[in-house]
Amino acid sequence: MPKTIYLILVYCLFRTFLCPIARAQTTAPSTAPFCGIENITLEKAQSLVKEAEQARQKKIASGNAFQSVTYVPIRPHIIRQSNGSGGFSLANLNKVMAMTNSYYLSNGLGIQFYFAGSSPDYIDNDDMYNSYNYQSVDAYDARNAMNQYYVNQFAQSGLGGFAYYPDNAIYSTRSFILNEYWNIDDMGNRLIPHELGHSFNLIHTFDNNNGTGNSTELVTRGAGANCTSDGDLICDTPADPYGMPGAYLTYYNGCPQYDPNSTARDANGYSFSPSVTNIMSYYFPCTHDFTPGQYDRMQAALALRQSHTAYTLDAPPTNVTAPSNLSASLNGTSIVLTWRDNSSNEMGYFIERSTSASSGFVPIGGVAPDVTTFTDDKTVPYTQYYYRIRPSNSTTGSLSPVIPFLTDPSVTGLYSSTLSVNAVQLNWNSLGTGITYIVQYRPTGTIDWYTLSGVSTNYYQLYNLQVNTTYEWQVKATGASTYSGPLTFSIPCPVPSLYTTYPTRTSTSLSWLYAFPETYTLQWRVQNTLTWNTIEAVTSSYYSLTGLTASTAYEWRVQGTCPGSTTVTTDYSSPQSFTTQACPIPALRLYSTSSTSVSVYWYTSFYESGRTFSLRYRPVGTTDWTTLNGLTVQEYSYYSINGLTTNTTYEAQVESVCSPTDHSGFSPSLNFTPSCQAVTYTYSSANYSTASLQWSTNYQPEPGTTFDLQYRLLGTTDWSTINSIPVTPSYWTTTYSLTGLTPNTTYEWRVRTICPTNTQATHTIGNNFTTSCLAPNYGYWGSLSSSSVSLFWNASSEPTSRFDIRYRPIGAADWITLSNLTITGSSNVFSYSLTSLSNNTFYEWQVRTVCSATDNSTFINGQSFTTSCRIPENRYANPLSNSAYLGWTSMGFDVTYDVLYRRVGTTTWIPIAGLKSNNITIMGLLPSTSYEWQVSTRCSDGVMSAYSSTNSFTTYACITPYNLSTSNYTPTSAKLSWYNYYTDASSSYEVRYRIVGTTNWTVVSNLNSISLAITNLTPDMQYEWQVRTICSPTSSSDFSYSFLFQTCSAFYTIRAGNWYDNTIWSCNRIPTSTDIVQIKHAVTVPSYYTANALRVGFDPGQQLTFGQYARLQLGQ
């Protein structure tokens, strides 16, 4: 194997061989896998770069300007078996070189490779084929082209290929490539572009080594950077920590990403953010790229190779007759190209594509000789493309004619499926990932379409459709010229589907599925009787039946009537049964006890207005009951039985009184014993000379209760007693603080309850406690910058306590001590800020409590820290349509931030400097636009961090409002509401409404809220309304779908019932404070209920009945 002092043989390993970085959440291996590259010294690497740049400058000075595209010949050498079998196929050869060529163009500039000769050079040699071990190829080299050898298997296990840096010697034109027939995509997208990158003077991104060393390139760019003298000597390739301990990868959908939690750092302590997609890295990405700096480096290397005399790069392109009759056709979303092959000396064909007819052509595929078709399956619908065919062993002299083709696929596979009685799902075949659609629908026979834009799935669900109506619909992809369809679907008039009954003793609530604008006829009867009771023209899907008989089985059914061009009346639904309940026996429960009273509560299985209760109780073993009748206490509310005898066991029972003649019977007995509650829970915590004692009882203490507390030194005889300690207001737990205690001493204590009846509970013994000077705990830091840090710790201290803090650089002998610091904590958390620290220094610190001049706690270690002006972390963006909220973790208490942002694809950053908070809302953005941003920290000592890696976000489109609803409707008004999360205060809304079936809309614009009250409506009319978002003077959403509502004729009762039952009202809702109400039937305002209306009128003989504590509130 030939070597020189500075021409390096580069081994590049494929897939499992290419020195994979440690997987995420694992530790990097202790020794890097061997890659075989002979390290190039820094001096030699810089010399190569300098020599190439001199050649580039000399070429410019000579007037030989660089062409936009330089065609470079490659002589392909395919190693086969001696009998001519095996080896790299021509189909794959053309395919991988087309892929490679696509990476060597940037904005229409760069290098394009073509094959020299009319057929490859076949080397039929079993020895080379079975194990290539650097056998001589001198006899095969072409002296007027780059030489690329395709190897079946290397002798060195794991080797994927190697190449040479530029030198004025023929062997530097060679590259050796493993035939990865099992992974052609990797071969064309990474392996060959990587090796040719070395041929044109590109170094690995992680340094001028084979992956066995660690790069010393700094993360910093600009002032203080070393990217021109370290790493790959190119500054727009980020520093790469490949092979460093603590450098990890994570995988998303099988693609590697650098783990932001990696602990690898450069010499300044900065974290890395390498480009894992770079072709010259040792990662295995799903996408691949070069940087502009690498393109410039390769152009300089091209000039260097063109200056060499030991070989040339002027092998003539083969004179191939150009292909003709190029044509294109659409197959789904793919474009199928065909052409006529007019020659017999082509080595294959490259297929080139552009969005311009005259420039910007990039190879998208390659085929073997004599093949005359190619399928382009990487197209974007509704894009104008231009295609041409180039023989792979020619340059521009044998190009086919250019043909245009506009991808305009039609949507196919349209059909609809029913979701519910008035909802359908529209379905069609997908045109591919990322395609959005426009859907239109309307009732057949009408003029206006309802349009739904930006549909991102290949289906859409329509709700609130009118029954007894036929609709038509059509769909196209966004940007397409024509719709597919229309197709029709019908919403029939459905037989009502019964689904719930909630019977009580004399009433039940019935409900069924609703279909707008169906009305209903309800029938019910006692089971096994002949006559149905009928209620017609029910406009809602629920109804309350009253006046039923307890403990009786009923059945009910519903019939639907649907308006339309022809009114349709359905059959009745299948009857459903229910049974009214008996007067329920309550369940009686104990809530709390005291010395002379108890609190009880009860509940039943259902609520009934007007029901009362009877409660009786007596001492257990006695005959006579004390009975309390007519109790109107709400269920689950507490009822107190007073005047009981302490320490006497009682029993109690309760029954429901549903009517004067319908009682439930009494419940089983509940036993209880009134007593002075004993303390059941105790807790103590002690400090240096104080202690906090807590205790509680099972139930809330009765009014007038106090406690006696006793404490003493452990082992002594006499108690210190504190009498009449009141209960802590609003709490069952009482806290008492002892002061003046002896430090470093153990105490015992006990407490008992004193009830207002001069009775007392037994003492409850609390846990012993010991006073001491308590050390802080859990020391940690925050708000770290290059010269300051905030220290935090937890401590249970007294008002007279102080703290000592000491800190030092790790390794220093002496502590810097801050003594007797008076610090006020919050919730036992204390903090102190250190300033004037040294940048890039590793510190340790400790803290202790100072309880007195002679008594301190021990020092505890805090979390160590390294000062630095840190790049902001945990960056995130919350975009809306016209704005975005950018945020990141605070990097210190004395820092500011600088933010840069711009539209993706533009070159000019918009700066925002001197931000004092760790967030900003950027206004005035464009909808549906991608932006990128960076942020840096500016520390108080003048040090500034590098800018963060680029984060991106995309603003939302101007979104159509959703969650439409109508409420508060009266005969002449309604409140329209909607929602739109994706807009900010700079956006507004426009609403339009009209009577269904009319042409003209009433439009209300410049709305800044998400609701609108509309007035002057026509009573008893069906309306539709729509709303859209106005994001800017030039950007607005489509109008929403139509939302329907109907005004009522007037607000009056249509039958008797409870006020809160919306089915008794003509407007099918409960009156509010703005409604004028007419009472035409007997209406009850239930107990504890507040009814509202603007004013109330009564038909002759009608009135309101009020339950206990019920009220009617009039006016606004």
Residues 897, 935: Cα–Cα separation, whole Å:
7
Do residues 564 and 603 share a domain? no
**pLDDT band at residue 211, thresholds of 50, 70 and 90?**
low
Residue whose structure tokens are 């990587």:
194
Residues 824, 835: Cα–Cα separation, whole Å:
19
From the CB of residue 224, how many other CB atoms can be counted at a distance below 10 Å? 9
User: What is the predicted pLDDT for the residue at 606?
Assistant: 87
Do residues 640 and 548 share a domain? no
Do residues 688 and 764 share a domain? yes
From the CB of residue 1078, how many other CB atoms can be counted at a distance below 10 Å? 15
Contact 513, 496 (CB under 8 A): yes
Do residues 84 and 228 share a domain? yes
Do residues 70 and 194 share a domain? yes
**pLDDT band at residue 77, thresholds of 50, 70 and 90?**
very high
Residues 296, 110: Cα–Cα separation, whole Å:
9
| Percent of the chain residues past pLDDT 90, beyond the cut | 69
Contact 188, 180 (CB under 8 A): no
Do residues 789 and 855 share a domain? yes
Q: Evaluate the CA torsion angle 177, 180, 181, 183 in order and state its sign.
A: negative
pLDDT of 321 > 90? The answer is yes
Domain that residue 302 falls in? 9-307
Residues 1063, 7: Cα–Cα separation, whole Å:
92
Q: Determine, yes or no, domain membership for 319.
A: no
Question: Picking from 6-15, 278-287, 398-407, which range would have the lowest pLDDT averaged per residue?
Answer: 6-15
Residue type, 789: V
**pLDDT band at residue 940, thresholds of 50, 70 and 90?**
confident
Of 87, 116, 100, whose CA–CA distance to 347 is shortest? 116
Contact 295, 157 (CB under 8 A): no
Burial of 547 (0-12, 13-18, 19+ CB in 10 A): exposed
Q: Determine, yes or no, domain membership for 370.
A: yes
Q: Determine, yes or no, domain membership for 954.
A: no
Q: Each residue of 634-654: pLDDT tens digit?
A: 889 999 999 999 999 999 999
Q: Determine, yes or no, domain membership for 173.
A: yes
**pLDDT band at residue 35, thresholds of 50, 70 and 90?**
very low
Contact 587, 669 (CB under 8 A): no
DSSP 371-389: --EEEE----TT-EEEEEE
Q: Which H or E element spans position 866?
A: strand 865-866
Residue type, 99: M
Do residues 380 and 422 share a domain? no
Residues 206, 82: Cα–Cα separation, whole Å:
41
User: What is the predicted pLDDT for the residue at 151?
Assistant: 94
CA 736 to chain centre: 48
pLDDT of 3 > 60? The answer is no
User: What is the predicted pLDDT for the residue at 311?
Assistant: 97
Do residues 184 and 300 share a domain? yes
Q: In Å, how far are 291, 549, 840, 941, 984 from 899, measured between CA atoms? A: 24, 75, 24, 19, 21
Do residues 748 and 806 share a domain? no
Q: Name which residue leads in pLDDT, 747 or 1088.
A: 747
Do residues 744 and 893 share a domain? no
Residues 295, 110: Cα–Cα separation, whole Å:
7
User: What is the predicted pLDDT for the residue at 553?
Assistant: 97
- The domain that holds 459 is classified in CATH as 2.60.40.10
pLDDT of 736 > 90? The answer is yes
Q: Each residue of 962-999: pLDDT tens digit?
A: 999 988 777 888 999 999 988 888 899 999 999 998 99
Contact 935, 884 (CB under 8 A): no
Q: In Å, how far are 34, 146, 541, 542 from 572, measured between CA atoms? A: 82, 87, 15, 16
Q: Which of 744, 770, 796 finishes a domain?
A: 770
Q: Determine, yes or no, domain membership for 502.
A: yes
Mean pLDDT of 1040-1060: 88
Residues 915, 934: Cα–Cα separation, whole Å:
13
Q: Determine, yes or no, domain membership for 206.
A: yes
User: What is the predicted pLDDT for the residue at 33?
Assistant: 28
Contact 164, 172 (CB under 8 A): yes
**pLDDT band at residue 65, thresholds of 50, 70 and 90?**
low
Q: Name which residue leads in pLDDT, 751 or 2.
A: 751
pLDDT of 804 > 80? The answer is yes
Q: Determine, yes or no, domain membership for 211.
A: yes
Determine how β-strand 362-367 pairs with β-strand 650-659: unpaired
Q: Give me the chain's average pLDDT, please.
A: 90
Instruction: Provide the number of structural domains found in the chain.
Output: 10
Beta carbons within 8 Å of 616's beta carbon, 6+ residues apart: 625, 626, 627, 628, 652, 653, 654, 666
Q: Which of 646, 672, 698 finishes a domain?
A: 672
User: What is the predicted pLDDT for the residue at 13?
Assistant: 39
Residues 913, 482: Cα–Cα separation, whole Å:
49
**pLDDT band at residue 7, thresholds of 50, 70 and 90?**
very low
Mean pLDDT of 368-379: 95
Contact 281, 291 (CB under 8 A): no
Residues 1080, 1101: Cα–Cα separation, whole Å:
9
pLDDT of 788 > 70? The answer is yes
**pLDDT band at residue 711, thresholds of 50, 70 and 90?**
very high
Q: In Å, how far are 419, 472, 722, 994 from 443, measured between CA atoms? A: 18, 6, 85, 16
Question: Which ranges in 240-330 belong to alpha helices (H)?
Answer: 292-307
pLDDT of 333 > 90? The answer is no
Do residues 686 and 710 share a domain? yes
User: What is the predicted pLDDT for the residue at 22?
Assistant: 31
| Percent of the chain residues past pLDDT 70, beyond the cut | 95
Q: Which two tokens stand for residue 1084?
A: 């009850």
User: What is the predicted pLDDT for the residue at 952?
Assistant: 93
Do residues 145 and 222 share a domain? yes
Measured N-to-C along each axis, helices 292-307 and 192-199 cross at an angle, to the nearest 10 degrees, of 60
Mean pLDDT of 371-394: 94
Is the peptide bond between 517 and the residue preceding it cis, with omega within 30 degrees of 0? yes
Q: Each residue of 256-273: pLDDT tens digit?
A: 889 988 888 988 888 899
pLDDT of 708 > 60? The answer is yes
Q: Name which residue leads in pLDDT, 1067 or 1031.
A: 1031
User: What is the predicted pLDDT for the residue at 34?
Assistant: 40
Q: Name which residue leads in pLDDT, 31 or 136.
A: 136
User: What is the predicted pLDDT for the residue at 730?
Assistant: 65
User: What is the predicted pLDDT for the residue at 213?
Assistant: 62
Q: Which of 750, 770, 790 finishes a domain?
A: 770
- Cα within 13 Å of Cα(45), Cβ side: 21
Q: Determine, yes or no, domain membership for 3.
A: no
